[in-house]
Amino acid sequence: MGGGATYEHEFGAIGTGYARVNYGYKDRQAFLDNNLGYTSNYVSLDGSVGLTVGDRWTVSVYGKNLSNHRNATVGIFLPASFGGPFQVLEKGRVIGASIRFKIQ
């Protein structure tokens, strides 16, 4: 389950600005056929703001997993002699910026 929204605003001769936000939720689920291992529930919150100048330049700042929720996405049930269950965690919060130039 999830959703998102985008807001755009014209800044005259400068360009078009935008703000985006995306939210997602996933309930816990079994990752093994015998239902012995479960992933935790998952909340995702991403967002970005940017400015498109003319037809070629876009500058933006973004954030992924803004809630910094560490979710186990994949799991393998190993015997205790091999260390027990093994799960892979998603990345934590990521903040970044980008500059794009379109060649025409």
Q: What is the pLDDT of residue 29?
A: 76
pLDDT digits (tens, 9 = 90+) for 87-101: 677 788 999 999 999
C-alpha dist (Å) from residue 43 to 17, 31, 33: 27, 18, 24
CA angle 66/23/17 to nearest 5° reads: 80
How many CB atoms are located within 10 Å of the residue 82 CB?
A: 10
pLDDT digits (tens, 9 = 90+) for 1-26: 899 999 999 999 889 999 999 998 88
Q: What is the pLDDT of residue 85?
A: 64
- Per-residue pLDDT band for 40 (boundaries 50, 70, 90) equals confident
The 8-class DSSP code of residue 61 comes to E
Overall pTM > 0.75: no
Per the structure, the complete domain to which residue 73 belongs is given by: 2-101
Rounded to whole angstroms, the Cα distance separating 43 from 70 reads 9
Q: What is the pLDDT of residue 104?
A: 76
CB 59 within 8 A of CB 99: yes
**Number of compact structural domains in the chain:** 1
